[in-house]
Amino acid sequence: RYLTDTRLYRRAGKPRFIDKMPNNFRHIGLIHLMLPGARIIDARRGAMACCFSNFKQLFASGQQFTYSFEDIARYYRTYVQLMAHWERVLPGAVLRVQHEELVEDFEPQVRRILEFCGL
């Protein structure tokens, strides 16, 4: 069903597709089982920058956690804890990319991402 639902966003005949929905981290175990060849990238930013960015962004309905700093902080903490869990139970399945490191050291970080993706 996932592949059917995302067909609109995938270009016909293209071997790769990027699903950057912000709540995907909650489903990494399922994604790993459904799409064992999927490359999962944990694109992370510093907590304050990330949380403030979420607060400023007007998301579609269903993202009520973005309406208060307390809810955003709780959600971010849950995200960090769950990502630590995935790193423990699925070692090597998720590549963490820190935004600040990508900006500071662009080329080596991009090479790391491309290598992880097999490109």
DSSP code, position 2: H
* 7 found inside a domain: no
13 domain residue, yes or no: no
Asked if pLDDT for residue 16 goes beyond 70, the answer is: yes
* Predicted local distance difference test score (pLDDT) of residue 113: 98
Q: Is residue 73 part of a domain?
A: yes
Q: Which domain holds residue 69?
A: 22-117
Token digits of residue 50: 């990330």
The one-letter amino acid at 119:
L
The pLDDT of residue 58: 65
Residue 93 lies in a domain: yes
Q: Answer whether residue 76 is part of any domain.
A: yes
DSSP helix/strand/coil, 98: strand
Of residues 60 and 86, more confidently modeled: 86
Q: Is residue 8 part of a domain?
A: no
Is residue 12 domain-resident? no
Does the structure show a pLDDT above 70 at 103?
Answer: yes
Question: What pLDDT, on the 0 to 100 scale, is given for residue 60?
Answer: 64
Residue 10 counted as domain residue: no
Burial status of residue 42 (CB atoms within 10 A of its CB: 0-12, 13-18, 19 or more): middle
Residue 74 has pLDDT above 80, yes or no: yes
What pTM value is reported for the model?
0.82
Tally of domains in the chain:
1
Burial state string for 53-86 with b = 16 or more CB within 10 A and e = fewer than 16 = ebeeeeeeeeeebbeeeeebeebbeebeeebeeb
Helix %, strand %, coil % of the chain (to 5): 55, 10, 35
Pull the structure tokens for residue 21: 């929905």
Using pLDDT thresholds of 50, 70 and 90, give the confidence band for residue 30.
Answer: very high
